Amino acid sequence: MIVNGVSVDDTFAEAFAMRGTRLIITAQTLGWARTAAVSMTGFATSVIGCGLEAGIECELDGARTPDGRPGIAVLLFATSSSELAKQLERRVGQCVLTSPTSAVFSGIASGRPLPLGKTLRYFGDGHQISKVIGGRHYWRVPVMDGEFIAEDTAAMSDAIGGGNFLILASGASQALAAAEAAIEAMRRVSGAIMPFPGGIARSGSKVGSKYKALIASTNHAFCPTLRASVDSELGPDVECVLEIVIDGLTEEAVRHSMQAGLRAVCAVGAAGGILRLSAGNYGGKLGKFHFPLRALLP
C-alpha cells in the first residue's frame, strides 16, 4: 500500500489492557493549572521504568470545569489498579496540592473509585472539612494560600496502552518534522495521550535483553547504525526512525488518534522524506488489541 509516496507496511500495532483515569486540575489562571499538570505528569513516559504513563489531554475553559475556573485535563494509565492508586496519591500530593491556587476533580463521571481527596485530606492535620455539593463529595484542606479543594475519589476505567506506529525517513529532520505534524493532529483527539517527551520516542524498545536485569532493550532491527550487523528491518535509504506511542481510555480513542497521526505523516509524504510507516508488535502475544495500519488509512 502506497499513500502519497509512503509505503505502509502490512502490519499492526499491538496494544494491551491497562487501567486509566482522567483528572481535571484547575487554578486561578490557566498557566498555573498547566504548571501543576506538567509537574504531575512528569517522568511518566513508560510503565517499564516510571510506574505510570501520563500526559495532558486538553485545556478546559471555566464552562467545562467543576469550579468554573480554567483547567487542564490529564490522563493517567498503569498496568494495575493498585499501581494507579499509588501513583495518583503521590503525584497529586506532591505536584498539585503544592501548586498555588490549585484544585483537583475527577474527570470521569463513573467507574471504580480511586482515592483522591480521601487520602490527601490528612495533610490538613484534622482541620480538613468534608462537603457534599450536588451529590459529589469534596474535601477542603487548609493551606497557606487558602484552601486546597479535592474531590473525594476519582473514577478508574479499563483502558488501552501501547498503540503505536513507526515513521521511517531519509533523515532525522524529515522524521522529526513528520512526527511533529502527527502529534499536532493527534492532540485534537480526546481520550488519548502520547506519553513520551513531546509525544515522540526515539528509543523504541523490544521485550527482553541479553542482560538479565533488563526487561526491555533497544529495538535493534530499527536502529540505522546497526543495519550492517543485525537482522535489520531497514533499507539502505532509511537514516532515522521515530515512534509514537498512544494510550487511550477506549479502543476508539486509540484508533482515532493513530488514524489522525498516520494521515498527517502521509500528508508530509515522500516529498518530505518519509519512506515507510510500520508498527511494533509481538505476533499478537503481548496484547489483545490490534490496530492494522492499512485499515486506518484511506
Residue 123 scores a pLDDT above 90: yes
Do residues 141 and 177 both lie within one domain? no
Closest CA to 181 of 120, 269, 100: 269
Residue 207's pLDDT is: 86
Mean pLDDT calculated for residue range 78-104: 97
Domain boundary among 98, 133, 157: 157
Helix (H) and strand (E) counts in the chain? 5, 17
With bands split at pLDDT 50, 70 and 90, how would you rate the model's confidence at 248? very high
pLDDT band for 282, please (50, 70, 90 cuts). confident
Total count of domains within the chain = 2
Residue 90's CB is within 10 A of a number of other CB atoms, namely 13
What is the DSSP code (8-state) at residue 194?
A: -
Q: Per-residue pLDDT averaged across 59-69, rounded?
A: 97
The predicted pLDDT at position 269 comes to 98
**Are 172 and 286 within one domain?**
yes
Q: Residue 6 above 90 pLDDT?
A: yes
**Digit-coded pLDDT (tens) for 46-58:** 999 999 999 999 9
On whether both 278 and 253 belong to a single domain, the answer is yes
Angstrom distance (rounded) from CA 182 to CA 263 = 8
Boundary of a domain, candidates 138, 157, 176: 157
Q: What is the pLDDT of residues 193-209, one digit of tens each?
A: 999 999 999 999 988 89
Between 212 and 101, the higher pLDDT residue:
101
Q: Report the pLDDT averaged over residues 238-251.
A: 98
Q: What value does the mean pLDDT take over residues 19-33?
A: 98
Same domain, 108 and 232: no
Looking only at the bridges linking them, the beta strands covering 12-26 and 103-106 are: antiparallel
Mean residue pLDDT across the chain: 96
pLDDT for the residue 94: 98
Q: Same domain for 89 and 117? A: yes
Look-up: residue for cell 499491538?
Answer: 14
The mean pLDDT value for 119-143 works out to 97
> Pick from 103, 126, 157: which residue ends a domain?
157
For the residues 222-236, what does the mean pLDDT come to?
Answer: 95
Whichever domain contains 187, its CATH number is: 3.30.70.520
Domain check: are 168 and 179 in the same one? yes
Residue 298: pLDDT band by 50, 70, 90 thresholds? confident
Tell me: do 94 and 197 sit in the same domain: no
pLDDT at residue number 285:
77
Return the DSSP state at 183: H
Q: Are residues 109 and 169 in the same domain?
A: no
Residue 109 and residue 96 share a domain: yes
pLDDT, one tens digit per residue, over 136-163 is 999 999 999 999 999 999 999 999 999 9
E strands along the chain, which residues? Answer: 2-3, 6-8, 12-26, 53-60, 71-78, 103-106, 112-115, 129-133, 136-143, 146-151, 153-169, 192-193, 205-207, 216-218, 240-248, 274-278, 289-292
Same domain, 136 and 59: yes
In this predicted structure, what is the pLDDT of residue 110? 86
Indicate if 43 and 139 belong to the same structural domain. Answer: yes
> Confidence band (pLDDT; 50, 70, 90) for 287?
confident
Identify the domain containing residue 150 by its residue range: 18-157
Kindly list the distances between the CA atom of residue 54 and the CA atoms of 100, 287, 289, in Å, as whole numbers in the listed order.
Answer: 22, 20, 20
Both 54 and 131 in one domain: the answer is yes
pLDDT bracket for residue 283 (50, 70, 90)? confident
Q: Residue 235 burial (CB < 10 Å; 0-12/13-18/19+)? A: exposed
